[in-house]
Amino acid sequence: MKLLTANRLTDGLVLWYADGQWVEDAAIATHLEDAAGEALKAEWAARETEVVAPYLIPVTDDGTPVQRELVREFVRANGPTIGQTTFDTAKQFKRDEVFQ
């Protein structure tokens, strides 16, 4: 399974593909079959005025990214792990950190 993610052109914020639209909360990202994920990635790669550089993240059965993507996607999904904006994204959606 895969998650489709990108950054929004206008503000650069991290986006996740969920049920036909882009959302900022990784917790509700849709788990896509590999082929469907590839097709959506190709479709959105051409829509450059909306999102920048969409890519797929492989996820395991329990919904966390596979080992190689873990730290990077953990940080993208929740916010920096340090400083004044520690876990700002997770806090914004009033949730615990995802992809632990």
Partner 1 sequence: MYVYDQFDHALVRERNAEFSDQVARRLSGELSEDQFKPLRLMNGLYLQLHAYMLRIAIPYGVLSSVQMRKFAHIARTYDRDFGHFTTRQNLQFNWIKLADTPKILEELAEVEMHAMQTSGNCIRNTTTDQFSGAAKDELDDPRPWAELIRQWSTIHPEFTFLPRKFKIAITGATKDRAAIRVHDIGLHLTPKGFEVYVGGGMGRTPHLGHLIKSGVPGEKLLSYLEACLRVYNRYGRRDNIYKARIKILVSALGPDEYARQVEEEWNTLDQAAIDAPYYEIDRIRSFFPDPAFADKAFDQAALDRAKAADPAFARWVRNNTHPHKRDDHVSVTISTKPVGLPPGDASSAQMDVMADVADSFAYSELRVAHDQNIILPHVAKADLYDLYQQLDRVNLSTANAKKISDIIACPGLDYCTLANARSIPLSQEISKRFADADLTDEIGELEIKISGCINACGHHHVGHIGILGVDKQGIEFYQILLGGRADEKAALGVITGKGLPAEAVPAAIERVVRLYLQLRTSPAERFIDVVERLGRETFAEALHEPA
In 3-state terms, what secondary structure has residue 40?
Answer: helix
Backbone angles phi, psi at 58, to 5 degrees: -70, 140
Residue 84 Cβ vs partner 1, minimum distance, rounded to whole Å: 5
Q: How many residues does the chain have?
A: 100
Q: Are 69 and 32 in contact (CB under 8 A)?
A: no
Query: Residue 100, interface with partner 1 (CB under 8 A)?
Result: no
Residue 51 Cβ vs partner 1, minimum distance, rounded to whole Å: 10
Residue 16 Cβ vs partner 1, minimum distance, rounded to whole Å: 13
User: Mask 37-66, x = binds partner 1 (CB under 8 A)?
Assistant: -----------xx--xx------------x
- In the chain, the DSSP E strands lie at 2-8, 14-18, 21-23, 51-58
Q: Which residues bind partner 1 (CB under 8 A)?
A: 7, 9-14, 48-49, 52-53, 66-72, 75-76, 79-85, 88-89
